Amino acid sequence: MEEKDAFGISTEGPEGRLFDPDTAGTTSEGDVDLERELEEGQASVAGEIDAVPEGASDQEEGSATDDSSRADGDPALGVDPGPDTEEIEIPEILIPSGPAPPVPEPSPVWMWWGWSMVLLFFLVTVVGVITGILGRAVILDVASFWPAFGVLGLVAFAVRSRFTYRIRAILPLLVASWLGAAIALHLSGWPVLPSAVGDMAGDEVGTLEAASLTLDIEGDLLVTTSNSDVLYMVSLPREGGPMSAPQALEISSPGALAIEVAPRSQSFWFSSSGWNVVLSDRVVWAVHVSAADVTVDLRSTATNGGSIAGSGVVEFGGAATGNWDFDGDILLRVPESVGILVIGDAKLPPGWSLSEFGRQSAATVELTLTVAENATVEIVTY
């Protein structure tokens, strides 16, 4: 039977011999053999450990790490880490990439189109001035928009080469719009532009009761009336032509005013194809005009005589009276209620009668029309 001490340790030595503490320091022949066997066994175990593959070693290390994480605490496993536990931040691994492929530059067709519009406006303006379609004052009107150059300069700085051709095309489009707007305002006769300097206007009607207008030009003439406080206005059409800007000479008398309008002697910038005259219908007018092409509309004002020479259309209203001289190729439109006596050859409406002095309408004569020799006059009633 095996004997054990108080601690439960066997007191028997090798080969069943009792362990004697007094003889523990001595070595017997059996002990030497036992120690040799132990050394051989340790060497064999060490060789097997060296022969273990790396994967198995890593797996063992991973198991050890897992055991360590369980011991230290892992939130994913429901274990609260201790206060001294430090969180390990794994750095993000950035994989460097090669250079980005070059982006192809878009076609500059937008730039070409924009500047072609600018060139087109420029050529149209130059050709229009040379051929007389536009007046030379258009150059002054376009130049008066010089503050726009500052805005265009800022735009040019903003859309310089950093942007694509499509965005940089904004600059020529703005220039073309600026030229187009300047020309459009010039043709509309905007009174703020420099071209308006060639226009003129008379004084207010005031207490004036009657006035006479006399002018003789080689261009086109348009005479109309309006309910205006200004006695008369003479403006230049913005189309080009040989006519210079107008100037007026006024001769006043008690209750009346005689106005003579003639071209200026020197008017390089301000020239046109003719004049546009607007008369106030608040006075009685005597109109003496001569032009190559005439258009006279006096339907809304009272008249007391005058003379018209040229080729065109003349219209009278119900208040037309006095003696009139016609010369040229003229079509006269007059109300049926106005009695007319025609002296000379003219084409008349049916029903007119022959009198001692000429041919006349059925109504009481209020207007006497004298037709010049070789003139062509036609009268139409409405």
For the cut 80, the answer to whether the pLDDT of residue 335 exceeds it is: yes
**Spans of all domains in the chain:** 109-187
Q: Let me know: does 315 contact 331? Beta carbons within 8 Å.
A: no
Strands 271-272 and 256-263: unpaired
DSSP 3-state assignment of 314? strand
- 341, pLDDT greater than 90: yes
pLDDT of amino acid 93: 61
368 pLDDT higher than 90:
yes
* DSSP state string for 269-291: SSEESEEEEEEETTSEEEEEEEE
Show Cβ contacts of residue 194 under 8 Å, excluding neighbours closer than 6 positions.
137, 140, 141, 144
For residues 187-204, give the mean pLDDT.
90
Burial of 144 (0-12, 13-18, 19+ CB in 10 A): middle
At residue 176, the pLDDT reads: 81
On the 0-12 / 13-18 / 19+ scale of CB atoms within 10 A, 316 is buried
Q: Is the pTM of this model over 0.75?
A: no
Q: Name the least confident of 26-40, 104-118, 159-173, 343-357.
A: 26-40
Q: What mean pLDDT do residues 310-332 have?
A: 95
Amino acid at 59: Q
Worst-scoring range by mean pLDDT, 177-181, 205-209, 321-325? 177-181
Mean pLDDT of the chain: 78
Better-predicted residue by pLDDT, 190 or 221? 221
Q: What pLDDT score does 376 carry?
A: 95
